[in-house]
Structure formats: structure tokens, C-alpha cells
Structure 1
Amino acid sequence: MNIALRQLKVFVTVAQELTITAAAEKLFLSKPAVSMALSELEKQLGHKLFDRNNNRLLINDQGRRLLPLADELLARSQDIEQLFCQEGPVTGKLKIGSSDTVGNQVTPFLLRDFRAESGHTDQSLFISNTAQICQMLTEFELDVGLVEGKVHLKELHAIPWLGDEMVVACHPAHPLAQSPSLTLADLEHSHWILREPGSGTREYFLSRLSPRLEHWHQAFELNNTEAIINCAAAGLGITCLSRRAVSHAVKDQRLVILDLPLDMQRQYWLLYHREKYQSPLLKLFLAFCQRWPDKVSDPVIT
């Protein structure tokens, strides 16, 4: 058996893209070349790696067994290629995924400090909701994830990371902002501006706040935190967001934070695939992330 790295690259890309057409575009190859490489690999292994469903290829159990090993071999080959191409103790590209709040409010400062300490500058950052980041980690499209939503996937190792505080915020002229002393009962029948399903921020609201309310109404569902802030600032409803996310709008007096008798602490999480090959670069970054909170008092303003 003589499996080529080219075949493994095609296999991993098809597993991530789900169609021959998309994989061919990403690899800058023709569709026949991609189909041939995948067929050759399956013939050599004696197993089909995908179930065919119309034009989509869905990875099967055999393919899932191969995926972490193929990812590791490709990562090790990249380490070899870059071994003498970059000065400094670590080489390679680091693919980081962050959920919206973490990615916008925290990760840029984490990367600033990591670059300053390690000298490594070849990183990519993908920002989406927690569900999307987890999906990309399970498919080995990302090396590490930094999210605010609780994760229950057995494939992923989740390490508690930074602490966070959620707040309820609204326009300064909103009736709730005029009350000197609020209770949960005052939030009944409110119109809420919320994140989309799959967001850690939405999951927090649905699991921790909405069960305490008998009547609430979703006014808007948006997939962008800044859009939610602007809608709340326009008086279209109230929202539940991270204190980090709304701090600039509060400073500009576009929003106020309601003083509620609630403990609204939550946890950020550091994620990586349990079977992901940990290159020297990935090990260095994971270790840096875990000790970074001890170095900063507030990563938003430091």
C-alpha cells in the first residue's frame, strides 16, 4: 500500500467541504482529479470513506476513523516543510476559532500577547457562533476554539478558561431604566433582542434567564452582537449580552445596564479535538492560553 499525502489532502478537504466541486475549488484542482484521488485512496484502503447522497458526500464510520490520522500526517508533513523556513522556536499556521463575544472582545488581545511572547505571527481567526466553531473543530478545520457556550461533544476537550458576566441592557429612556429598584417580575412581558440558535449568548439566556420568566417575547433574532446593541439602543427592546460586549455602548450612553438581583456569571471555554495532533506550535498556544488570564486583569482594556 502506497498512500500519498496528496490523497489524504483530498480526503480531508472533501470531508470538510462535503462536495467534490467545493473541494476542487479549495484545492485548485479539477473535479476529475479530486474524484480520482479519492477513488484511488478508497481502493487502496479497501473501504468506502463516504456515503453518497445526490451530490453530497457524507463521511461514514470508516472515514471518521481515518480523519484524525490523516489530519496528523498532513500537519506533521507541514512541520517538516516549514522546519527551516521560519526563524524562532515554532513554525506552522495556527487556525483559531472564536465565538462572537470572545472573538470580538478577547481573542485579539490574546493574539497580541501571544505574538509578543512567542514571535509567531502566522495565525488565522474565524469568528462565528459556538455551534459553528464546534462543528469546524470536529471536522479538523480548526486547531483550537475559544467560546462562551457550554459544549457537550465527546470529541472535544473543554477546559474552563476566562470568567465573564452577563447583563441585561436597554435604551436609557426605556421604562425599566427609570425604576430605582428592579426585580425579575419587572422583566415580564418584555420584548427581547436575542442572538440566533447555536450562540452561547442565546443558550445562556434560554437556560438561565428565560426559565425564571413566565411571559417574554422575542422581538428580534440577530446573528451579530453589534446589530443587537444598535437595536436595543434604538429602543426596539431589551437584550442579554456580555458586559464586555456592551461596555462601549454604555460608555457612549446609548445603553444602560439594569441592576437586577441575579448572579449572571458565566464561563468561557478553551476547546480542542481529543484526537487532534498537537504540534509544538499548538502545544505552545494551548499552554499560553491557560496561563494568560493570570497575566491580565481585564483583557478588554489592558
Structure 2
Amino acid sequence: MNIALRQLNVFVTVAQELTITAAAEKLFLSKPAVSMALSELEKQLGHKLFDRNNNRLIINEQGKRLLPLADELLARSQDIEQLFSQEGPITGKLKIGSSDTVGNQVTPFLLRDFRESSGHRDQSLYIANTTQICHMLAEFELDVGLVEGKVQADHLAVQPWLSDEMVIACHPTHPLAQLPELRLQDLENSQWILREPGSGTREFFLQKLAPRLAHWQQAFELNNTEAIINCTAANLGITCLSRRAVEHAVKDHRVVILTPPLDMHRQYWLLYHKEKYQSPLLKLFIAFCEQWQDH
């Protein structure tokens, strides 16, 4: 059996993109070339790697067994290619995924310090909600994830990382902002501006605040934190966000922070696939994250 790296690269890309057309565009190949490479690999292995559903390819159990091994071989081949192309021992590209709050408020400063410490500068950063980051880790599209939502997935290593404080925010003229002391019952019947399903910020609200309220309404559901802050500043409702995210709006006097009698702390998490090949670069980055403090 003589399996080529080209075939494995096609297989991994198809597994990530789910269609021959999308994989061909990503690989800058023709659709017949991608189909042929995939067919050759399946013929050599003696197993189908995907279930065909119209134009979509769904990776099957045989494909799932191959995916982490193929990802590791491609990563190792990249290590070899770059071994003499950069000065210093740390080479390769690092693909990082962050959920919205972490990605906007924390990860840029983490990367600044990592670059200064290691001299490595070839990183990509993808920002989405926690559910999307977990999906991309499962498909080996990312090397590591930094998220605020609690994750339960057997295939992912989940490590506690930094701590965070959530706050309730509203417009300075909102009736809740005029109260000398906020009680939980004061939040009843409020109009909330929330993140979309799959967001760690929304999950915190639904688990921590919503069960303590008999009546609450969702005014808006938005997938962008800054849009939520602007809607809150426009007095369209109240919201629950990370203190890190709203600090600039508080300084500009566009919103104020309310303090409920409730522990509003939460955990950030560091994630990676348990079967992901950990290159020297990935090991270094994980170790750096573990000892890094957010200043």
C-alpha cells in the first residue's frame, strides 16, 4: 500500500468542507482531481470513508478512525518542510479558535505576549461561539480553543483557564439604574438582550439568572457583543455580559452596571482534541496559556 500525503490532504479537506466542490476550491484543484484522489485512497484502504447524501459527504466510522492519524501525518510533514525554513526550533502554523468574549477581549493580548515570548508569528484566530469552536476542534480544523462556555465532549480535553466576572448592564436612565440596591425580584418582567444559542454568555444567563426569575422576556437575540452593548445603550433592554466586554461602554457613560445579590463569576476553558497530534509548537502554546495571566 502506497498512500500519498496528497490523498490524505484531500481526505482531511473533504471531511472539513463536506462537499467535493468546497474541498476543490480550498485546495485549488479541479473537482475531478479531488474525486479521483479520494476514490484512490478508499480503493487502497478497501473501505469507504464517507456516506454519500446527494452532494454532501458525511464522514463515516472508518473515516473518523482515519481522521486523527491523517491530521497527525500532515502536521508532521509540515514540520519537516518548515524545519529549515525558519530560525529557531518552533515552526508551523497555529490555528486558534476563541469564543466571542475571549476572542475579542483576551486572546489578542495572549497572542501578543506569546509572540514576544516565543518569537513565533504564524498564527490564525477564528472567533465564533463556543458550539462552533467545539465543532471545528472535532473536525481538526483548529489546534486549540479558548472559550467561555462549559463544554462536555468525550473527544475534547477541557481544562479550566482564566476566570471572568459577568455583569448586568442597562442604560443610565433605566428604572433599574435608579434603585439604591438591586434585588433579584427587581429583575422580574425585564426585557433582555441576549446572545444566540451556542454562546457561553447566553448559557450563563440561562443557567444562573433565568431559573431565579419567574417572568422574563427576550427583546433581541444577537450574535455580536458590540451590537448587544449598542442596543443596551439605546435603552432597548438590559443585558448580561462579561465585565471585560462592557467596560469601555461604562467609561463612555453609555451603560451602567447593576450589581445583583448573586455570584456572577464564571470560568474560561482551554480545549483541544484528545487525539490531536501535539507538535512542539502546540505543546509550547498550551503550556504558555496555562501559565499566562490576564493583566
Q: Under TM normalisation by the shorter chain, which class is it?
A: over 0.9
CA distance in 2, matches of 1:276, 1:229: 37
Q: What does residue 97 of structure 1 align with? A: 97
CA distance in 2, matches of 1:55, 1:171: 49
Q: CA offsets per residue over residues 86-112 of structure 1, 9 Å max, x none?
A: 012200000000000000000000000
* AA partner of residue 245 (structure 2): A
Q: What does residue 152 of structure 1 align with? A: 152
Q: What does residue 117 of structure 2 align with? A: 117
Q: What does residue 163 of structure 1 align with? A: 163
CA distance in 1, matches of 2:73, 2:179: 61
Write out the 4+ residue segments of structure 1 that deviate beyond 2 Å after TM superposition. Answer: none
Q: What does residue 256 of structure 2 align with? A: 256
CA distance in 2, matches of 1:102, 1:73: 31
- 1:195 equivalenced with 2:195 (yes/no): yes
Cα deviation, residue 282, structure 1: 0.2
CA distance in 1, matches of 2:272, 2:2: 30
CA distance in 2, matches of 1:88, 1:42: 39
CA distance in 1, matches of 2:198, 2:260: 26
Q: CA offsets per residue over residues 144-194 of structure 1, 9 Å max, x none?
A: 000000000111001000000000000000000000011000000000000
Structure 2 alignment gaps of length 5 or more = none
Q: Alignment partner of 1:66: what SS?
A: helix
Q: CA offsets per residue over residues 203-233 of structure 1, 9 Å max, x none?
A: 1111111000000000000000000000000
Q: What does residue 292 of structure 2 align with? A: 292
CA distance in 1, matches of 2:129, 2:75: 26
* AA partner of residue 15 (structure 1): A
Q: CA offsets per residue over residues 29-49 of structure 1, 9 Å max, x none?
A: 000000000000000000000
CA distance in 1, matches of 2:245, 2:158: 23
CA distance in 1, matches of 2:262, 2:208: 10
Q: What does residue 172 of structure 1 align with? A: 172
* AA partner of residue 6 (structure 2): R
Q: What does residue 47 of structure 1 align with? A: 47
Q: What does residue 266 of structure 2 align with? A: 266
1:55-66 residue pairs with structure 2 within 5 A? 55-66=55-66
1:212-231 residue pairs with structure 2 within 5 A? 212-231=212-231
Q: Alignment partner of 1:121: what SS?
A: coil
CA distance in 2, matches of 1:85, 1:283: 20
Q: What does residue 211 of structure 2 align with? A: 211
Q: CA offsets per residue over residues 232-285 of structure 1, 9 Å max, x none?
A: 000000000000000000011101000210101000000000000000000000
Cα deviation, residue 18, structure 1: 0.2
Q: What does residue 234 of structure 1 align with? A: 234
Q: What does residue 36 of structure 1 align with? A: 36
CA distance in 1, matches of 2:88, 2:193: 47
Q: Alignment partner of 2:276: what SS?
A: coil
Q: What does residue 276 of structure 2 align with? A: 276
CA distance in 1, matches of 2:190, 2:260: 15
CA distance in 1, matches of 2:76, 2:102: 29
Q: What does residue 126 of structure 1 align with? A: 126
Determine what percentage of the aligned residue pairs are the same residue. Answer: 83
CA distance in 2, matches of 1:89, 1:70: 24
* AA partner of residue 34 (structure 2): V
Structure 1 alignment gaps of length 5 or more = none
Cα deviation, residue 128, structure 1: 0.5
* AA partner of residue 70 (structure 1): A
CA distance in 1, matches of 2:74, 2:278: 12
CA distance in 2, matches of 1:197, 1:93: 31
CA distance in 2, matches of 1:276, 1:172: 48
Q: CA offsets per residue over residues 33-75 of structure 1, 9 Å max, x none?
A: 0000000000000000000000000000000000000000000
